[in-house]
Amino acid sequence: METAAQAAPAAPATGPAVIVAIDGPSGTGKSSTSRAVAARLGMSFLDTGAQYRAMTWWMTGNGVDVSDPSAVAALARKPAIVSGTDPKAPTITVDGADASGPIRTPEVTANVSAVSAVPEVREVITGLQRSIAASAPHGIVVEGRDIGTTVLPDADVKIFLTASAEARAARRSGELGATTGAAVAATKEALIQRDAADSTRKASPLAKAADATEIDTTDLTLAQVIDRIVALVEEKRAAK
Ligand SMILES: Nc1ncnc2c1ncn2[C@@H]1O[C@H](COP(=O)(O)OP(=O)(O)O)[C@@H](O)[C@H]1O
Ligand SMILES: Nc1ccn([C@@H]2O[C@H](COP(=O)(O)OP(=O)(O)O)[C@@H](O)[C@H]2O)c(=O)n1
């Protein structure tokens, strides 16, 4: 029986299966770009941040003190986190329950960096990510923070997205409905703090792989970023 973790997009493959790793800080466009690239090329898509958010939601929902790494580590293998990888309709469940809404709450966002810094959490989730990537029949676009450096160091295409803190805060504020100057400033501050925590943790920090192509999306439209990455993937497919 096919599980949600194995469900592949229906679109036909148009070339050899390639693995694409897209990393970068918050609000650089990883999720929207990755989904669109995968949909256009008939590939699977995996949002690894959603997996860390799902782990965090389970921890807070089960009364675990997320500021205590040993408490988080002890329970890291408990939740069953399953990702559906169709870019047109990605899903995430925890112990069979739909987690797609609850993982986006401010509470989860505020706690996710602490949970994702725990090595045992990373070990469990990295294992899930590698098995999902290995079983994607038409290749996969995997987006996160450490995909090109740690999870899939042999990826065929590695991209590192960047953008100014101002642009990223404006994008996030748009999503959250923050319109006042103070709300945008608070969003920017929270985003900078989360990036700092993600970049300075010991276990597999947010980092650009030495062989990744960096794309600064500050002054590019979403469509332009998608086109650039599609071109890089098609080039790689043609050479395979
Ligand atoms: N190049 C871009 N220009 C303008 N807005 C963008 C661009 N890329 C993404 N966005 C928007 O910014 C927001 C955050 O993008 P998202 O893909 O969630 O970023 P990330 O996954 O890196 O956190 C979304 O509302 C998205 O539509
Ligand atoms: N490969 C990854 C992906 C996400 N994460 C963690 O998960 C959090 C949420 O990731 P996300 O991609 O949903 O974040 P945003 O889309 O809100 O920027 C990050 O802030 C990291 O703490 C990680 O540690 N490693």
Residue 149 CA to ligand 2 centre (angstroms): 15
Q: Which residues of 98-117 are buried (b: 16+ CB within 10 A; e: fewer)?
A: ebeebbeeeebbebbbbbbb
Ligand 2: does its nearest atom lie under 6 Å from the Cβ of 116?
yes
Domains of the chain, each with CATH number or no CATH: 15-228 (3.40.50.300)
Ligand 1: does its nearest atom lie under 6 Å from the Cβ of 60?
no
What's the predicted TM-score (pTM) here?
Answer: 0.94
What is the predicted pLDDT for the residue at 182?
Answer: 86
Would you tell me the crossing angle of helices 119-134 and 48-61 to the nearest 10 degrees?
140
What is the predicted pLDDT for the residue at 153?
Answer: 98
To the question of whether residue 26 is assigned a binding role by annotation, the answer is: yes
- Distance from C-alpha of 130 to C-alpha of 185, rounded to nearest angstrom: 37
10-residue stretch averages of pLDDT, the chain, 240 residues long: 43 75 97 98 98 98 98 98 98 98 96 98 98 97 98 98 95 82 88 95 97 98 98 93
What is the predicted pLDDT for the residue at 181?
Answer: 84
Ligand 1: does its nearest atom lie under 6 Å from the Cβ of 31?
yes
Tell me the best of 31, 81, 112 to mutate to test the pocket of ligand 2, counting ligand atoms within 8 Å of each CB and taking the most: 112
Is the ipTM of this structure higher than 0.95? yes
What is the predicted pLDDT for the residue at 13?
Answer: 57
Please answer whether residues 142 and 154 qualify as being in contact, where contact means their C-beta atoms are separated by less than 8 angstroms.
no
To the question of whether residue 14 is assigned a binding role by annotation, the answer is: no
What is the predicted pLDDT for the residue at 3?
Answer: 42
- Distance from C-alpha of 216 to C-alpha of 72, rounded to nearest angstrom: 35
Residue 24 CA to ligand 2 centre (angstroms): 9
Please answer whether residues 66 and 25 qualify as being in contact, where contact means their C-beta atoms are separated by less than 8 angstroms.
no
Ligand 2: does its nearest atom lie under 6 Å from the Cβ of 145?
yes
What is the predicted pLDDT for the residue at 46?
Answer: 98
To the question of whether residue 96 is assigned a binding role by annotation, the answer is: no
